[in-house]
Amino acid sequence: MMKWLAGTWTSEEWAQWVRESPWDFPYDREGYADALGKTWGAIVGADFAWPMAYRRKGPFWTAYIPFGMQQWGPVGAEAKHTERLLSAARAIPGKWTKVDLCVHKPLDWTARSSQWSIRRGRLERWSERPNFVLDISDSYQQIHAGFHKQLLRNLEKAKQHTMTLFEHDTPETLFLAFKRYQGERYRIPEGFGTAIRQAMYHLLHQGQGAVWSVYGEGNRFLAGAFFAFAGNRAVLLFSAISDEGRSTHAMSYLLNEFFVFAAGRWTYFDFEGSSAPGLARFYGSFGAENQPYLRYQRWALL
């Protein structure tokens, strides 16, 4: 029996669900969700919980993924089963006018149509979103052997420039660099800056994150990234790069240096997927494979 609970579980219950999950993501920690400062609850059943944030605007209720998360839940021993996820979707409160959530893909998920369908007077659909993951469980030499030729050429070009690696920048520095150098390239949604900084500071406080940056001559910022750690997974949570950093391949240099450090420490490196073709090619050039996550959308017709 699935039911909606608005934060009425105990911390011990949530921690148990996380421990029993078939995967391990920083987003799934209760403290991470609370750090974003959003109202959230979960669809809960035996050995299963699917978290989601929710809000009300006038008469309309919405369930959504907060900024600072790419995918969120489900957690628990039964989270690996498709039928449990589908059953949980049917238990999402009917008063919610709009539902737009991204979740981990169950281990037994099979391909299905991403077309909209009508169920109980509502439009709904399941679709897949790209997510690039690299196996880093072996040695750095093994990881390097999977690099594509273009990446190897870019790393050689990066060596022609003076680059200094710094491992102790602040999330504030990283976000301001993103805003300065990429603010015009990408529209920054309202609330994103606050959410991503809160998430990064929370992970740093918990000892589950790190900021790595690359600087050129004259202490010029070239590239930076925030890496989040959870269990056997390291995640590229957020990154920034300057125009000079692009031309000197500073991000390739930064990630390569991180893999020297991370090889064998974690099993997976999660690039966090992107539907942008350029980013997909870049992530794939490290030998990463696309392991999609799911998006569930539901709209009330009346």
Neighbours of 249 (CB within 10 A): 24
Between the two ends of the chain, the Cα-to-Cα distance in Å is 27
Q: Are residues 9 and 85 in the same domain?
A: yes
| 284 falls within a domain | no
DSSP annotation of 138 reads S
Same domain, 72 and 108: yes
Confidence at 182, pLDDT banded by 50, 70, 90: confident
- pLDDT number for residue 235: 97
CATH number at residue 66: 3.40.630
Is the peptide bond between 74 and the residue preceding it cis, with omega within 30 degrees of 0? yes
CATH number of domain containing 214: 3.40.630.30
What tokens does 221 get? 């910022």
Q: How confident is the model at residue 237 (pLDDT cuts 50, 70, 90)?
A: very high
- Say which range, 7-11, 66-70, 115-119, 238-242, has the weakest mean pLDDT: 7-11
What's the confidence (pLDDT) of residue 273?
A: 75
Asked if residues 106 and 79 have their Cβ atoms less than 8 Å apart, the reply is: yes
The number of distinct structural domains making up the chain is 2
Question: Taking all residues of the chain, what is their mean pLDDT, rounded to a whole number?
Answer: 93
Phi and psi at residue 159, to the nearest 5°: -65, -15
- Angle, in degrees to the nearest 10, between helices 171-182 and 192-205: 150
Structural domain includes residue 124: yes
Both tokens of 267, joined, read 């099993």
The continuous run of DSSP H or E covering 200 comes out as: helix 192-205
- Are 125 and 117 spatial neighbours (Cβ–Cβ below 8 Å)? yes
Give the model's confidence band at 186: pLDDT under 50 very low, under 70 low, under 90 confident, else very high. Answer: confident
Domain that residue 119 falls in: 3-131+292-300
pLDDT at 275 (0 to 100) = 75
Per-residue pLDDT of 4-28, as tens digits, reads 998 777 889 999 999 999 999 999 9
pLDDT on residue 80: 96
Residue type, 54: Y
Closest CA to 258 of 212, 301, 197: 212
* Pair (183, 238) in one structural domain: yes
- 83 within a domain of the structure (yes/no): yes
Q: Is 161 a residue whose pLDDT tops 90?
A: yes
Q: Work out the pLDDT band at 302, boundaries 50, 70, 90.
A: low
Hey, what amino acid is at 23? W
Residue 109, in any domain of the structure:
yes
Q: 30 and 123: one domain?
A: yes
Taking alpha carbons only, the member of 24, 75, 72, 83 closest to residue 48 is: 75
Model confidence pTM above 0.85? yes
Kindly state whether residue 280 falls inside one of the protein's structural domains.
no
Average pLDDT estimate for 163-192:
89
